[in-house]
Structure 1
């Protein structure tokens, strides 16, 4: 059954989309626009625009249809598996691959490939991300750990929560640094002006990123980032916040940047304790070819 909300405007003022986003939990402005387009939001039995200014005694009816369940279909997609045992596997995710199915990406994801590779993946509470205990963005390349059973999932999630694992990233960023290293400690939450973006906001969740400058070029730098926390888009948001956005980042970076297939950000090193034995496992993979090519070009300038 669809969810249905109905209310009459009393003293509220402003745009319809802003009002609905504040009144209905987890309803983004993008989703509101979709509902309006599909005639699932009516004001006085009429379809209006998101910018409609509400008026006293307006009757607003919102119908939110249930989303169709995502099909978890195994797909024969090549995987670069760096390590695998009875509990975990470590995969080198290519740039351009989404980690798990979602409304905009129902298939051709890492999860679809993992389901084809093995029947042993830890179930997730949400159901659509079996085995996945952490993510990297679609256009970020590099290492991910995957849980093959519930014991491994709990162990890996605890290591993430207690910050005992190791995650190091390489990034080509805009600008040069006066310091050799630094720590960015700034809370991250949903951007108040663009629901597709994250931002440093006063009431956001704790987010800490350590960085070390490895090389500097003309107008660009190569840095290493160590995640202490794991917020959505954390490295991209933090580096943009300090004035050094990741090169090629279409969401947080400048329009003119290095040409590539998205942000030049690579999860290079991943370390964690094997869930059963407690043995420390650590892996390293080099960045994709386009990352290395841009580095070579920058070094020649």
Structure 2
């Protein structure tokens, strides 16, 4: 099958630019992608292959054709996928607990990537698996997969410009001393661990906004909005302020009520990579968190 085609029509205020300036500065296309298009002679001006230094004028049509890609060493595996939305550029999925997003040495199969690659192959597509936002193995909820290099690159810009809204819900130990607030504390990997993170002065800037949704028995039901996206950010930040997630024994929580960290990616909002229309998605709490929440109600 044919790969993705991206088409732009030049407006009056863009006339006189070179194709390179138009695509890099006005459309945010990466240098890497433009180099690839040039090498493969798959970038066209009014239907004719044209070099990037060519000037453009109002009404010109610029087309980029991207061939499909083989997914990199990911073994296709049939599994049930909870697809919330899909078009030619993106998929939004609801990830269950106890599932990695990408294959690892410890988890070479059974991952979301294995299932998505199989799903695409059944439809006759070869694509590279590109997760836009990452979720831990035991975190549930909404995740975006870009279906082509263009969509992935555009969504990377969206993340960098903090236009990707990510809202989580969690069950945490104890009762917070205020109903809402912001945790701004840099996060770095612990020097003696490949997995664990910690708050440290030399870490990367990390900002989490929190709001208490409901007080429970020796616990709280909280909403968390990410301004940055560091590894384990919510888990580290909530532990840092003395309220680790239920079930998160890596960061000080206990498994008395949950056998995994009680964290769910509840809401996502972002501009579509091609149309720029704002897309919004909501995922219901998974059954195990809902059950624990009800058990801890006064």
Q: TM-score, normalised by structure 2?
A: 0.72
Shift of residue 193, structure 1, vs aligned partner: 4.0
**Paired residue for 1:272, among 270, 288, 294?**
270
2:76 matches 1:74: yes
Q: Deviations over 1:177-230 (max 9, x none)?
A: 221101010000011343431000111011110001100012100000001111
Residue 255 to residue 178, structure 1, CA distance change in 2 (3 Å): closer
Other-structure match for 1:55:
none
4+ residue stretches of structure 1 with deviation over 2 A?
119-123, 192-196, 253-257
Residue 195 to residue 74, structure 1, CA distance change in 2 (3 Å): closer
**Paired residue for 1:289, among 287, 290, 297?**
287
- Secondary structure in 1 matching 2:251: coil
CA distance in 2 between counterparts of 1:122 and 1:283 reads 24
Residue 255 to residue 268, structure 1, CA distance change in 2 (3 Å): closer
Residue 86 to residue 256, structure 1, CA distance change in 2 (3 Å): closer
Is the 1:71–1:106 Cα contact (8 Å) retained in structure 2? no
Other-structure match for 1:87:
89
Q: Which runs of 5+ in 2 are unaligned?
A: 1-71
Q: Deviations over 1:236-295 (max 9, x none)?
A: 0000000000111121123453233x1000000011111111100000011110110111
Is the 1:121–1:147 Cα contact (8 Å) retained in structure 2? no
Other-structure match for 2:240:
241
| Matched length | 224
- Secondary structure in 2 matching 1:79: coil
Is the 2:249–2:255 Cα contact (8 Å) retained in structure 1? no
Q: TM-score, normalised by structure 1?
A: 0.72
The aligned runs of 1:193-208 (5 Å cut-off) are 193-208=192-207
RMSD, aligned CA: 1.5
- Secondary structure in 1 matching 2:142: strand
Other-structure match for 1:156:
155
Is the 1:270–1:283 Cα contact (8 Å) retained in structure 2? yes
Residue 217 to residue 114, structure 1, CA distance change in 2 (3 Å): same
Is the 1:122–1:147 Cα contact (8 Å) retained in structure 2? no
Shift of residue 104, structure 1, vs aligned partner: 1.4
The aligned runs of 1:24-35 (5 Å cut-off) are none
The aligned runs of 1:70-219 (5 Å cut-off) are 71-119=73-121, 123=128, 130-219=129-218
- Secondary structure in 2 matching 1:272: strand
Other-structure match for 1:298:
296
Q: Which runs of 5+ in 1 are unaligned?
A: 1-69, 124-129
Q: Deviations over 1:34-79 (max 9, x none)?
A: xxxxxxxxxxxxxxxxxxxxxxxxxxxxxxxxxxxx8411110100
Residue 110 to residue 184, structure 1, CA distance change in 2 (3 Å): same
Q: Deviations over 1:139-159 (max 9, x none)?
A: 000000110011100111111
